Chains A and B, each alone.
Chain A
Amino acid sequence: MSRPSLQTVGEAAFARCDRVSAELLALTYGTFVRQLLLDYEKVADVNAQLDAVGCNIGVRLVEDFLAKSKIAACNSFAHTADVIAKVAFKMFLGVTANVTSWSADRNTFSLLFDDNPLAEFTELPEQCPDLWYSNVLCGVIRGALEMLNMKVGCTFVRCKLRGHDTNEIRVSLHELLAEQPPQADD
């Protein structure tokens, strides 16, 4: 019995989704980041805001992801990484990522992707070289995995907008959260 590969699952989920034009997404996101840069003085605050917004998106998006991709529960963190890279990225961004650079304890990995639909038409202005423009993605991954009882840390380490050769997000697993039993009545 052959199980469909994650690529196939990702493409099927992508086909099932409603789509908006990539330009619309890129331009709307660009406007949003721009507004944040006006509202917050420090670039570090903007990065944090993008992460927080992403986290709120992630806790909801994970439900849509599970419902549409019809994927079964992952049995290992490595499997989770592949599902994010091959299915989730494909479904929501239309691109796939590569999982590389596993740490020795198998708790940290990197997601590499060349095409970033969010950053199309974008150039980083000179006055904010420290902006992680697509930091919202980190938040989304963190929020989504939190709903699946995985506490992770998620940061951008390379971004094409900063002149690096590819985009890289580093994801590291901090702990698996235990299921909480219902609270007893007082």
Chain B
Amino acid sequence: MAVYCFYLFDRTGTCLCYYEWNRSRSLQDASDDQKNMFGMLFALRNFSVKLSPDPAKGVPTFFVTDVYALHYFETPTGLRFVLITSHDCGSVDVTRHLTDIYAEVYVEYAIKNPLYVKGSKIDYELFLSKLDSYVRSLPCF
């Protein structure tokens, strides 16, 4: 089991935070990668809700491929948290950990940081180190 990388987008599609642990293939262009990721999630989420019998529900929580799994969590304020792990974490409830990252890392160390301007990239060391240690402590890391 492994955790590859983490993305956090706000409602406008700005990538507030990108963090990687052991992503074996290096990126060509990080901003392109983030834009594509947001675009894919946006389309996937909206289409998935359209397929749902209940129009208020049907937001995907994860999908699995033969090598990796993507876990997704969004807040009513339009923040989107994404964690990419190895495929064997697919059945584990990683989305729950993303809600914890929201409550215990994002809210505590970004939102409550008076210097942080909402909607800008989060590059505070404390935030990143808390994120890093939280993810490293996960059973699926």
Contacts and interface: CB of A to CB of B under 8 A. Distances in A.
A2 interface: no
Contacts of B107: 63-64, 67
Interface stretch (B17-25, B70-78, B85-93, B122-130): B70-78
A183 interface: yes
B102 interface: yes
A179 B11 contact: yes
30 contacts: A59-B118, A60-B111, A60-B118, A63-B75, A63-B77, A63-B79, A63-B102, A63-B106, A63-B107, A64-B107, A64-B111, A64-B112, A66-B75, A67-B102, A67-B103, A67-B107, A68-B103, A70-B99, A73-B56, A147-B77, A148-B77, A179-B11, A180-B12, A182-B12, A182-B13, A182-B35, A182-B38, A182-B42, A183-B13, A185-B35
The contact size tier of chain A is: 20 to 34
A66 B76 contact: yes
Contacts, number: 46
Nearest to B45: A179
Contacts of B99: 67, 70
A62 B42 contact: no
Nearest to B77: A147
Q: Interface residues of A: mostly helix, strand, loop or mixed?
A: loop
A181 interface: yes
Contacts of B118: 59-60
Interface residues of B, number: 21
Interface string A51-70: 00000000110111011101
Given A67-B102, A67-B107, A182-B42, A62 B77 contact: yes
Nearest to A149: B78
A50 B131 CA distance: 34
Interface string B60-71: 000000000000
A182 B103 contact: no
Most buried by B among A66, A75, A148, A180: A66
A169 to B, nearest CB: 22
B93 to A, nearest CB: 15
A91 to B, nearest CB: 13
